[in-house]
Amino acid sequence: MKNQANSFRKLTCLLPAMAILLGSISCMDRTDKTAAEASQAMQEEPAGDNVVYELTRDLYTADPSAHVFEGKIYVYPSHDYESGIPQDDLGSHFNMKDYHVFSMDSVGGPVTDHGVALDLADVPWAGRQMWAPDAAHKGDTYYFYFPVKDKEDIFRIGVATASNPAGPFSARENPIAGSYSMDPAVFQDGEDYYMYFGGIWGGQLQRWKDGEYHGEDVYPADDQPALAPKVAKMADDLLEFAEPPRDVLIVDAGGNPITAGDNERRFFEAAWVHQYEGTYYLSYSTGDTHNIAYATADNPYGPFIYRGVLLRPVLGWTNHHSIVQYKGDWWLFFHDSSMSGGQTHLRNVKYTRLHHNADGTIRTVDALVEP
């Protein structure tokens, strides 16, 4: 993946400072706190609007999927580490080989690292690169969904199960039939569960057409509809798809598909869906423009109408998030690269309050910090 131009980051960093000069301090805590100061805030401040909490400083974590299980917040992140693989546009430097699960009893409270929940060596079909996971719960079983390249270096999505939310999880013999690409996010809508997935560039979505792998990087022309995230309803056992994956169309306010050349708004990776007051919110990373954008629909399949940006670029190339409601408040989990001094493949998870506005929009979070 490419390194973002520093000038763009610096410009976004200046915006909150200009706002302060104009009398607004809404971004001040997010932009002025170093990682250590944020940890300090964790001890001293109540759950305020502008506080950014860190998940852990004990290991590198990224791509956080947060859920409330058994009254606690559980976080399912990627586990970054330095594998020595050089950086490239396909994300080879994200060479992760296991997952840890974290939990906390309260916002800003102590965080428990439950240790290795799933290891590459315990997935029979896996080759390399354990990327952004997610989890779901049904009956007395917890399901852990993870993308990893198979032994032919093609991303597939696997599922592993456990009797408790922290694992350890036991992986199935094979990936989910019909799954491909990466970044699974499983959304529960009443009795139904849907998996959203996909990502371009390193996520290989551009190498698939109609569920078939053709192996070539093929992108639509700039004026054509962008490559879409996929969605499939899950079977009752949550171990397979109940239907072939379909495209999730993202359109502008006029109903026109967001085009491949519209890098500020088009889908790149990191789909997440939550529901707020009956509306379905699809949020996703715009990749090379580094935003978390969002779009809304009246059903889980879409089309979703583009609404704006909910998280501006953070330190590091990638931007990846999840949204969860806990005890009445909404929380945005995300990562940046502040703990490693800006190294894109060594990230750390953070979280902060998220606000839905009365008109259905979401208040934009600006969490950029300098390393």
Q: Considering the complex, what minimum distance in angstroms separates the CB of residue 110 from ligand FUB? A: 26
**Of 63 and 262, which has the nearer Cβ to ligand FUB?**
63
Burial class of residue 259 in the structure, from the number of CB atoms within 10 Å of its CB (0-12 exposed, 13-18 middle, 19+ buried): middle
Instruction: Read off the tokens for 219.
Output: 């992108």
Q: CA nearest 108: which of 58, 41, 61?
A: 41
Q: What are phi and psi of 252, to 5 degrees?
A: -85, 180
Q: Considering the complex, what minimum distance in angstroms separates the CB of residue 333 from ligand FUB? A: 12
**Of 304 and 317, which has the nearer Cβ to ligand FUB?**
317
Binding site for ligand FUB (CB under 6 A): 62-63, 78, 91, 94, 131-132, 182-183, 199, 269-270, 318, 320
**Of 166 and 270, which has the nearer Cβ to ligand FUB?**
270
198: left (phi over 0), alpha (psi -120 to 50) or beta: left
**Of 93 and 137, which has the nearer Cβ to ligand FUB?**
93
* Beta strands at 134-138 and 141-150: parallel, antiparallel or unpaired: antiparallel
**Of 274 and 320, which has the nearer Cβ to ligand FUB?**
320
State yes or no: cis peptide before 175, omega within 30 of 0: no
Quote the CA–CA distance of 337 and 341 in Å, as a whole number: 6
**Of 54 and 63, which has the nearer Cβ to ligand FUB?**
63
**Of 262 and 269, which has the nearer Cβ to ligand FUB?**
269
Q: Considering the complex, what minimum distance in angstroms separates the CB of residue 34 from ligand FUB? A: 22
- The answer to whether the beta carbons of residues 272 and 196 sit under 8 Å apart is yes
Residues with a catalytic annotation lie at: 63, 269
Q: Considering the complex, what minimum distance in angstroms separates the CB of residue 132 from ligand FUB? A: 4
- Count of other CB atoms within 10 angstroms of residue 84: 7
